[in-house]
């Protein structure tokens, strides 16, 4: 019984209470026939089948966000950028779109792998990511800019007026905001530590002499990524619970 209690406690961390109890009940029944070794192997297999998507989604989301952020920077302020906005406040607006767009791409990859493309929140964050990419790469084309603004207004109205749109926005936008805050988090940590190591401008030799700076920034980026995905997962689970609670009243 201790083994069953231990396995059920772990499974409750990754699935619902009822589902965990049902799985453990089936395993306990088969344990009497196949033995304790089979029980633990089967429990490990069930746990892996429930959690394998999360680490893959985490890694894919992290690299998708980092790659898109670097690509967006090269398209806006890189040496090969064809059109660089210089007038205030358009450069700052584009910077905000770069940050929010890269966070939306990272969240879209995570949610698509972890929960599937059929969910409304995944579709919404992917739509915002598409609009951000279009503005970043073609903002100087009037037709594209007008189309993106109109699409953003329509998507915003859907997020406010439609019930499913509001639910999706409750999941998507707090996670995007957390991702943007995460950028300032690791940038501030890295800057403060760099100034503590050696005030003033740095060169490539300085980076080689102080590899701890790179590891610190990388660790801070992972923490920011974890916070962003935790916000998405928690809000999604909270809405799922609220929807189940509303279901009986909707049937009356």
Which tens digit of pLDDT belongs to each residue from 10-57? 877 777 778 788 887 888 778 777 877 878 888 888 888 777 888 899
Report how far residue 120's alpha carbon sits from residue 165's, in angstroms, rounded to the nearest whole number. 7
Q: How many CA atoms lie within 13 A of 181 on its CB side?
A: 12
Q: State the average pLDDT over residues 64-83.
A: 84
Report CA-CA distances (Å) from 163 to 108, 156, 159.
21, 13, 8
Report how far residue 126's alpha carbon sits from residue 32's, in angstroms, rounded to the nearest whole number. 48
Question: Do residues 104 and 128 make contact, with C-beta atoms less than 8 angstroms apart?
Answer: yes
Report how far residue 51's alpha carbon sits from residue 14's, in angstroms, rounded to the nearest whole number. 7
pLDDT above 70 for 243: no
Average per-residue pLDDT for the chain: 84
Which of 115, 228, 237 has its CA nearest to residue 167? 237
Which of 219, 145, 132, 143 has its CA nearest to residue 182? 219
Residue-level pLDDT at 37: 82
pLDDT above 80 for 87: no
Residue-level pLDDT at 88: 62
Report how far residue 219's alpha carbon sits from residue 229's, in angstroms, rounded to the nearest whole number. 15
Which tens digit of pLDDT belongs to each residue from 95-136? 899 999 999 999 999 999 988 889 999 999 999 999 999 999
């Amino acid at each position: 019984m201790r083994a069953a209690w231990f396995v059920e406690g772990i499974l409750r961390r990754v699935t619902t209470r009822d589902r965990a109890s049902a799985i453990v009940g089936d395993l306990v029944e088969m344990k009497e026939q196949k033995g304790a070794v089979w029980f633990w192997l089967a429990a490990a297999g069930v746990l892996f089948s429930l959690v394998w998507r999360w680490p893959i989604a985490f890694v894919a989301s992290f690299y998708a966000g980092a790659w898109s952020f670097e690509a967006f920077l090269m398209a806006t302020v890189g040496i090969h950028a064809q059109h660089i906005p210089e007038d205030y406040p358009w450069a700052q607006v584009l910077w905000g779109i770069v940050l929010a767009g890269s966070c939306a791409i990272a969240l879209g990859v995570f949610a698509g792998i972890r929960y599937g493309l059929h969910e409304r929140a995944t579709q919404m964050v992917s739509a915002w990511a598409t609009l951000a990419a279009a503005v970043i790469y073609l903002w100087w084309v009037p037709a594209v800019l007008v189309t993106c603004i109109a699409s953003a207004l329509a998507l915003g109205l859907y997020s406010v007026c439609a019930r499913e749109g509001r639910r999706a926005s409750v999941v998507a936008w707090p996670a995007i905001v957390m991702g943007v805050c995460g950028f300032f988090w690791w940038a501030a940590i890295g800057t403060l530590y760099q100034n503590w190591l050696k005030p003033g401008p740095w060169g490539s030799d300085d980076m080689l002499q102080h590899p701890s700076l790179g590891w610190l920034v990388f660790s801070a980026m992972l923490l920011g990524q974890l916070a962003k995905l935790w916000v998405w997962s928690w809000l999604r689970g909270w809405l799922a619970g609220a929807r189940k609670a509303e279901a009986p009243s909707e049937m009356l």
